[in-house]
Amino acid sequence: MRRVQYECSGGPEVLEVVSVEMPTPGAGELLVRVDAIGVTLPVVRKVREPREPIALGGEIAGEVVAVGENVTGYAPGYRVTGLAFGHGYAEYALLSVAMASPIPDGASAVDAVALVRSGLVALGALDAANPKDGESALLTAAASGVGHLALQLARVRGATRVVAAVSDLAKADFVRDLGADEVVEYGQESWGEPVDYALDAVGGELLTPAIAALTPGGRLITYSSGGGTIQAYDLLVGAKSVTGFQMARIARNSPDLYEHWRQELWQYFASGQLRPAVHAEFALDDAAEAHAVIEDRSNLGKVVLIP
């Protein structure tokens, strides 16, 4: 079978497609014929880190072709999606049963990778903000794979004003079509009238303007791997708060909540309240191009690989 890997750190150009043996599912694992792979910013960033190469894991969706020992609830022929911690950029991948969930009828593999993992992060970050009906919301990276879902979910959860912050105003029509009332560009001096809560997917230098955009008592939820520094004085002045959100912690420690969120996402999808958008589909041979789109932050919605 074919998979994408790399031998040394660098940009998208270090990715290569190689032929390897088919993996064998161990205890509690599914072997999945992969039909779609979601490309994420954390994985793209790891390729550039100056350390030993890692397996390119992430969101996959496809059909179960074999199961390991002690597997219940799944059998060959089932369609599933989930987070592969090993090699996921491949024609076949191993998926832990604990991270797997069924793909309902009427949804494609591409729908699944565009919706589930990114949607879980978006919904989890939103829940961490404890939104209330009638509040206003700000989303950074609002056109990204996670951000464009968070934007829609904020509206579903009662936000009456949604502000989309983007890296380029060329993305304005895209986020407005998804429900944004206002669109601001990162470099603007002001992001408009203050909001009750903000979900930040960027970090770094954007943390300061995101905090400044909050009303007194406002809440910032940060779920970025981009780092950054927060000045305590910026919080004290308006009695504002910052909460870090990490999906891996929920998956490990609160599996019931994790599953509840998955079911909620599919319900929103089925009702038409949540529309996952796909920027482009790339073949495995074009994985470098897919990574370049993410690095350039030019994507509108999800970037997907099709083995």
CA-nearest of 133, 146, 186, 189 to 163 is 186
The β-bridge partners of 30 are 67, 95
Taking residues 237-266, what's their average pLDDT? Answer: 91
Taking residues 134-150, what's their average pLDDT? Answer: 97
CB atoms inside a 10 Å sphere around CB 234: 16
Using 50, 70 and 90 to split pLDDT, how confident is the model at 240? very high
Q: Quick check: 172 pLDDT over 80?
A: yes
Taking residues 7-35, what's their average pLDDT? Answer: 97
In this prediction, residue 220 carries a pLDDT of 98
| Sequence-ordered strand ranges (E) for 68-169 | 79-84, 92-96, 100-102, 136-139, 161-166
Q: Quick check: 160 pLDDT over 90?
A: yes
Using 50, 70 and 90 to split pLDDT, how confident is the model at 227? confident
CA-nearest of 68, 2, 59 to 31 is 68
DSSP codes, 275-305? ---EEEEEEGGGHHHHHHHHHTT--SSEEEE
Taking residues 218-247, what's their average pLDDT? Answer: 92
Give the pLDDT confidence of 266-289 residue by residue, as tens digits. 999 999 999 999 999 999 999 999
Q: Quick check: 226 pLDDT over 90?
A: no
Taking residues 12-34, what's their average pLDDT? Answer: 97
CA distance 225 to 44: 11
Taking residues 237-253, what's their average pLDDT? Answer: 90
In this prediction, residue 13 carries a pLDDT of 96
CA distance 125 to 221: 6
Q: Quick check: 152 pLDDT over 80?
A: yes
The β-bridge partners of 62 are 34, 80
In this prediction, residue 250 carries a pLDDT of 86
- Is 6:16 a contact under the CB 8 Å cutoff? yes
Per the structure block, which two tokens stand in for 222?
A: 């940060």
CB atoms inside a 10 Å sphere around CB 260: 12
Give the pLDDT confidence of 63-99 residue by residue, as tens digits. 999 999 999 999 999 999 999 999 999 999 999 998 8
For residue 38, the one-letter residue type is G
Is pTM beyond 0.85 here? yes
Q: What are phi and psi of 191, to 5 degrees?
A: -100, 25
Q: Quick check: 23 pLDDT over 80?
A: yes
Using 50, 70 and 90 to split pLDDT, how confident is the model at 249? confident
Domains of the chain in start order, with CATH, are 2-103+277-306 (3.90.180.10), 119-247 (3.40.50.720)
Average pLDDT of the chain, as a whole number: 95
- 3's enclosing H/E stretch is strand 2-5
In this prediction, residue 204 carries a pLDDT of 93
Using 50, 70 and 90 to split pLDDT, how confident is the model at 224? confident
In this prediction, residue 98 carries a pLDDT of 87
Taking residues 1-27, what's their average pLDDT? Answer: 97
Residue keyed to tokens 């960027």: 202
Is residue 169 classed exposed, middle or buried when 0-12, 13-18 and 19+ CB atoms within 10 A define those classes? exposed
Give the pLDDT confidence of 125-141 residue by residue, as tens digits. 999 999 999 999 999 99
CA-nearest of 140, 137, 156 to 148 is 140
Give the pLDDT confidence of 105-115 residue by residue, as tens digits. 999 999 999 99
Using 50, 70 and 90 to split pLDDT, how confident is the model at 39? very high
